[in-house]
Chain A
């Protein structure tokens, strides 16, 4: 080795040796500069922390140059309001700097708080020293604002801008400087009385000085001596200075803001407290003062989940849902307000759905084993038992079942309000006649069980008679429906006739129909007997013999004619009663329809039933002769120039003005005409000249 070897070794040593001021391990704060905006901040000291002392120093910094003073290692862990905490670790130590003063915004004359919103603006240095050697330094710039908390209510009051027609928006036009007193402006509220006294004699006058409503000449209290006429104060105007002729609009008596429409969504009002009971149409309230909700139909057939229920409004809705969009409704343990600030529990009965196919429609074909299923509510039936204005009891029947992914469920929700007989003595006079839409009463008078039914078919699915259900006949509504009967080619005709007749007769399980809605079973006068015109009896007349696939005279169409009339009125509501009911059959010829070859396939025979309501006049109408029917002189519906309308404006036919006014105007005209006639008479002119 010689000089180059020594030089290489030195180079190596130099390279290996750490830089001046840095020891092996390279201790550093990470991060080394923090801009602090909260009361606590953390940093990490990387490096061996054994024997290292940490200190925090408040560095005010040089005012002129802004440079920081170089700190020495003589600080401590506390400086002013600042605290330093060190959590030592293996190679890293956590360093926490925290502020210990109160950050509340000051009230006047209070201590230990922040006098201004910018509470702390300081610079800190955190030093890590070993002995008196500085290892690392952390620079913290603290800019901390005072804590502000919002206390108080949010006011929904909007600033009402007065209508400019009555109140100028700037009521003091000379108040130009904000926060300071404007000289010579006597309406400026920022001027103290002492200041005002200085320029009191030379205030701005007129509108610019704030006098936006100068007293006008016609005012009774007007002191102006300029243009007062001699008759003043005769016909002077007595009014307050709120209403002057300088304003453009009529003064309603209040200063109202102009109602300019805009997109403002008004406040939501929560349901009010109930102390006096429910009236019809009021929403039902729960214990927590919220609406009692059940899914209902809204919009264009879509269902909304939580819709309030109205008192005494029954409904029956079907909502579609699937597993993704399924949501549970209101839980059943919620108690309901009865109307008298008392709460009752719902009486819930849980059942499992037996016929799942009625509710579910499958939309996708999935492997049934691997699919996700959940136990959901299939139907809920609510019955509210109410008395007067209170709810006595709530009975709920919940049907549960499992819904799987990919299926569409038809949920059904029904609500029914039943009322107990109230002990209130008042009995409203009953409307005993039928009302349109109510079911027709039917009975078997001479049977043990008098209850009867009058139905027609409600077809379902494919429309076969085997799967059809019944729906009751409603008063005043003409019905027509039917179902399809499957008939084989070898069907015996008389058997077929019997089958069809039996099916049609199953619709009418009654012998009498009630005249009124409240017909009682004990009074035979309340019922009319059903007149049956039985189908043509085919036993006596076998016309076609034994032709296969061909049957004449099948009574496949049932016609029910119900005759009703208006008999009197109760409280202005006309009473409608059924006078007679007739059932007749019309026959069809059934022929087996088949193509080229008739196998053992089935043919279809449609069986129909129709109900027709015929209004009969209560009294027979007056017979009109043919002459009267053609001669329409007095019939204003068929004749534009009927004689009753000869003096049209003076008759009741004219509805453009009240009749009394028309009569008065007509009399005025008649008076004028009479005056004209009298004055044109020569006798009058003689009288006048005398």
Chain B
């Protein structure tokens, strides 16, 4: 034997003809259907055919809105609390419970990529020597934006709360402002349904500054941010003439965002899966077709292109 056969191209190119309504044509239709439909069913039934959700990473553009609401509890007796906020109507309600603190804030972009990475927030609350702080409830408001897929703009809040049975000199908190999603975001378009202020700062009514109402309305939203700090530090030992210091560092980390893919993305991934199974079926049914036609299981008139077509001589294929 000289060499190995690598490829064979049929020298005789045979075409098989039959009527449009013949058994062969119908069988061919059935085989075509069996070639193209089962891959879809096989791919679908093995789960994951349609991509119903996906993820992407983005660091959100977070800016502190310079809106603060502070409540400091200074004792167990009724009315022993101090409050302050950047909302004038709230401050007016507090009357002599109002204590204006010293605020020092700075937003820092550590990697110089144009997006802020953390907020340094320091608040000094002046106290009389007889006042002792037992607990702090602090609301900070942010504007939160995502751009990579859908343009998602919302106003969100970080709620910092800590209570202690012993009076303190300061509270140190360090944590991330994490995104909390209850539903998938869109893959494109503008989403500003939560671009409403968390605290209605223009309302004069006391019930609009009730923390339970604020939090209930905030958690009705499907996309929120949460300040997560697993280890707040309550510092004790306040000197009589020093203020109570709240020192918070809030990081804006890179988030994993779940979104619902668009139409073309779904079709693309489905197509990949479909075609890879279709190839197998094409090969299998191609072989079956070759067998069926070459061995005349289906009655057809074979027409060979090499020999001249003679109406007299009909060239019958040798049946094996």
> How far apart are the CA atoms of A646 and B65 in the complex, in Å?
47
Does A238 reach chain B (CB closer than 8 Å)? no
CB distance A299 to B263 under 8 Å? no
281-339 of chain A: CB within 8 A of chain B: 283, 291, 296-300, 302-308, 310, 313, 315, 319-322, 325
Does B56 reach chain A (CB closer than 8 Å)? no
> How far apart are the CA atoms of A431 and B137 in the complex, in Å?
42
Name which residue of chain B comes closest to A411, CB basis. Answer: B78
CB distance B92 to A268 under 8 Å? yes
Q: Which residues of A contact B97 (CB under 8 A)?
A: 304
Shortest CB distance B292–A (Å): 20
Of A263, A306, A308, A656, the contact of B95 (CB 8 Å cutoff): A306
> How far apart are the CA atoms of A245 and B70 in the complex, in Å?
47
Does A648 reach chain B (CB closer than 8 Å)? yes
Shortest CB distance A271–B (Å): 8
Shortest CB distance A269–B (Å): 8
If A300-B137, A305-B95, A307-B206 touch, whether A662 touches B63 (CB-CB below 8 Å) is no
Name which residue of chain A comes closest to B201, CB basis. Answer: A266
54-86 of chain B: CB within 8 A of chain A: 63-66, 71, 77-79, 81, 83, 86
Name which residue of chain B comes closest to A657, CB basis. Answer: B263
137-171 of chain B: CB within 8 A of chain A: 137, 143
Does A16 reach chain B (CB closer than 8 Å)? no
Q: Which residues of B contact A297 (CB under 8 A)?
A: 206-207, 210
Q: Which residues of A contact B44 (CB under 8 A)?
A: 641, 646
CB distance A325 to B79 under 8 Å? yes
Q: Which residues of A contact B202 (CB under 8 A)?
A: 269
Q: Which residues of A contact B137 (CB under 8 A)?
A: 299-300
Shortest CB distance B160–A (Å): 13
Name which residue of chain A comes closest to B142, CB basis. Answer: A261
> How far apart are the CA atoms of A648 and B51 in the complex, in Å?
10
Of A268, A320, A665, the contact of B89 (CB 8 Å cutoff): A268
> How far apart are the CA atoms of A315 and B208 in the complex, in Å?
14
Does A112 reach chain B (CB closer than 8 Å)? no
Does B219 reach chain A (CB closer than 8 Å)? no
CB distance A299 to B66 under 8 Å? no
CB distance B204 to A291 under 8 Å? yes
> How far apart are the CA atoms of A319 and B78 in the complex, in Å?
8
> How far apart are the CA atoms of A401 and B204 in the complex, in Å?
31
Shortest CB distance B273–A (Å): 13
77-116 of chain B: CB within 8 A of chain A: 77-79, 81, 83, 86-89, 92-95, 97, 103
202-259 of chain B: CB within 8 A of chain A: 202, 204-207, 209-212
Shortest CB distance B45–A (Å): 5
Q: Which residues of A contact B66 (CB under 8 A)?
A: 261-264
601-633 of chain A: CB within 8 A of chain B: none
CB distance B50 to A648 under 8 Å? yes
Shortest CB distance A516–B (Å): 30
Q: Which residues of B contact A264 (CB under 8 A)?
A: 66
Does A495 reach chain B (CB closer than 8 Å)? no
Does A669 reach chain B (CB closer than 8 Å)? yes
Question: How many residues in B have their beta carbons less than 8 Å from beta carbons of A?
Answer: 49
CB distance A321 to B78 under 8 Å? yes
> How far apart are the CA atoms of A661 and B212 in the complex, in Å?
42
Shortest CB distance A315–B (Å): 8
CB distance A304 to B95 under 8 Å? yes
Q: Which residues of B contact A657 (CB under 8 A)?
A: 262-263
Chain B proximity mask over A641-658: 1 for CB below 8 Å, otherwise 0: 100011011000011110
Q: Which residues of B contact A298 (CB under 8 A)?
A: 93, 206-207, 209-210
Name which residue of chain A comes closest to B208, CB basis. Answer: A298
Number of A-B contacts (CB under 8 A): 117
If A299-B81, A641-B45 touch, whether A656 touches B263 (CB-CB below 8 Å) is yes
Name which residue of chain A comes closest to B88, CB basis. Answer: A268
Name which residue of chain A comes closest to B40, CB basis. Answer: A646
Does B39 reach chain A (CB closer than 8 Å)? no
The binding surface of chain B is classed by DSSP as mixed
> How far apart are the CA atoms of A296 and B81 in the complex, in Å?
15
> How far apart are the CA atoms of A313 and B187 in the complex, in Å?
42
CB distance A296 to B207 under 8 Å? yes
CB distance A669 to B267 under 8 Å? yes
Of B41, B64, B78, B187, the contact of A303 (CB 8 Å cutoff): B78
> How far apart are the CA atoms of A641 and B49 in the complex, in Å?
9
4-40 of chain B: CB within 8 A of chain A: 40
Shortest CB distance B34–A (Å): 17
CB distance B205 to A307 under 8 Å? yes
Does B260 reach chain A (CB closer than 8 Å)? yes
> How far apart are the CA atoms of A657 and B264 in the complex, in Å?
10
Chain A proximity mask over B261-272: 1 for CB below 8 Å, otherwise 0: 111101100000
Of B63, B81, B184, B266, the contact of A649 (CB 8 Å cutoff): B266
> How far apart are the CA atoms of A408 and B45 in the complex, in Å?
70
Of B65, B92, B205, the contact of A283 (CB 8 Å cutoff): B205
Q: Which residues of B contact A662 (CB under 8 A)?
A: 263
Shortest CB distance B258–A (Å): 12
Does A64 reach chain B (CB closer than 8 Å)? no
Shortest CB distance B243–A (Å): 18
Does A235 reach chain B (CB closer than 8 Å)? no
Shortest CB distance B196–A (Å): 16
CB distance B65 to A261 under 8 Å? yes
Does A640 reach chain B (CB closer than 8 Å)? yes
If A263-B103, A649-B263 touch, whether A641 touches B206 (CB-CB below 8 Å) is no
Does B186 reach chain A (CB closer than 8 Å)? yes
Does B47 reach chain A (CB closer than 8 Å)? yes
CB distance B187 to A656 under 8 Å? yes
Does A265 reach chain B (CB closer than 8 Å)? yes
Name which residue of chain B comes closest to A268, CB basis. Answer: B88
Name 10 A/B residue pairs within 8 A (Cβ), A-sorted: A261-B63, A266-B88, A271-B204, A298-B210, A302-B79, A306-B95, A641-B47, A646-B41, A649-B263, A657-B263
B residues neighboring A (CB under 8 Å): 40-41, 44-45, 47, 49-50, 52, 63-66, 71, 77-79, 81, 83, 86-89, 92-95, 97, 103, 137, 143, 184, 186-187, 202, 204-207, 209-212, 260-264, 266-267
10 further A-B contacts with Cβ under 8 Å, apart from A298-B206, A303-B78, A648-B49, are: A261-B143, A265-B88, A269-B202, A298-B93, A299-B211, A308-B205, A646-B41, A657-B262, A657-B263, A669-B267
User: Sorted from nearest, which 5 A-B pairs have the closest CB atoms?
Assistant: A320-B78, A307-B206, A298-B206, A656-B260, A648-B50
